[in-house]
Amino acid sequence: MKIYDELVMNSISRSNDISFRCVLNSWREHEAELRGYLIHRVGDPNLADDLVQDVFLKAMRYGQGFCVLDNPRAWLFQVARNTLVDKLRLHKNAVPLPDDLIEEIHEIAPVDALTECLLHILAELPVEDSDILMQCDLNGVRQQVYANTHGLTLSAAKSRLLRARQRMRYDLIRKCGVQFDDAGNVCCHEASSNRSD
C-alpha cells in the first residue's frame, strides 16, 4: 500500500538505515499475497487491512533482524497468523445473556446425596458387618480373598455379606428414608434430619 511506502521512504531518507530498505523490499514482494490470505481468513477487507498494517509495523520493529531471516515470506505469514489469532482472542463474539435467564439447577443423584447417611449407618453397624461391606462393596476386595484373609469359607463370606447388606438396607430405609424403584435402585430419600431413629 502506498501509505507504507511513503512512511518508510521518509524514515529511510532521514536515517539511511539499510534494515528499513530490506523490510520494504520484502514487503513490496509479499504484501498483496499476505493481504489476500488475511481477507480469506477473516472475510472482512477492512479488518484484513488493519492486520496487514500490524504485520508491517512488527516487521519494521524487527529492524535489522528481518534482513538476516532465511525466509522473510514465512516470517511475515507466521506473524500474520499470530496477529490474527491475537485479534480473534481479544474480540470474541459475546452474546449478552438476558436478565430473566433462569439458573439451571443441577440435581444431585439421590444415591450421591446418601453419602453422609451411609457413613453414619456404617459406623453404627456391628464391626463384622461394616468390615465386610467396606472391604467387598466399597473397596472392591473379592469375596474369595476376604474369606481367605478372615479364615472363612467362600460360602460363609457370601452369607455374611448378604446379612450385612440386608441390615444396612433396613437401616437405610428406616434412618435415611431411602426408597427403591422397581429395579431395586435408590430413587430418593429424605434428609436424615427429617427422620427419627
Backbone angles phi, psi at 61, to 5 degrees: -65, -30
Would you state the pLDDT for residue 10?
56
**Does residue 99 belong to any structural domain of this protein?**
no
Instruction: Name the residue with higher pLDDT: 20 or 83.
Output: 83
**Does residue 41 belong to any structural domain of this protein?**
yes
Residue 165 and residue 132 share a domain = yes
**Does residue 143 belong to any structural domain of this protein?**
yes
Q: Which of 75-84, 137-146, 154-163, 170-179 has the lowest mean pLDDT?
A: 170-179
Contact between 157 and 141 under an 8 Å Cβ cutoff? The reply is no
**Does residue 104 belong to any structural domain of this protein?**
no
Segment 90-102 mean pLDDT? 71
Segment 24-46 mean pLDDT? 87
> In this structure, what C-alpha cell is assigned to residue 14?
532521514
Distance (Å, rounded) from C-alpha 128 to C-alpha 163? 11
Q: Kindly report the average pLDDT of the chain as a whole number.
A: 80
Residue 55 and residue 122 share a domain = no
Segment 138-167 mean pLDDT? 93
Q: What CATH number does residue 122 fall under?
A: 1.10.10.10
**Does residue 101 belong to any structural domain of this protein?**
no
CB atoms within 10 A of CB 135: 19
> In this structure, what C-alpha cell is assigned to residue 17?
538505515
| Per-residue pLDDT band at 184 (split at 50, 70, 90) | confident
**Does residue 126 belong to any structural domain of this protein?**
yes
Instruction: Name the residue with higher pLDDT: 88 or 151.
Output: 151
For residue 4, pLDDT beyond 70: no
Distance (Å, rounded) from C-alpha 109 to C-alpha 115? 11
Coil, strand or helix: which one is 185? Answer: coil
Q: Total structural domains in the chain?
A: 2
**Does residue 139 belong to any structural domain of this protein?**
yes
For 187, half-sphere exposure in the C-beta direction (CA atoms, 13 angstrom radius) is 6
Q: What is the DSSP letter of 16?
A: -
For residue range 97-150, what is the model confidence (pLDDT) as tens digits? 677 767 666 676 666 667 778 888 888 999 999 999 989 988 889 999 999 999
For residue 163, pLDDT beyond 80: yes
Closest alpha carbon to 5 in 21, 45, 51, 61: 21
Distance (Å, rounded) from C-alpha 53 to C-alpha 30? 13
Phi-psi map region of 117: left, alpha, beta (phi>0 left; psi -120 to 50 alpha): alpha
Domain of 78? 2-90
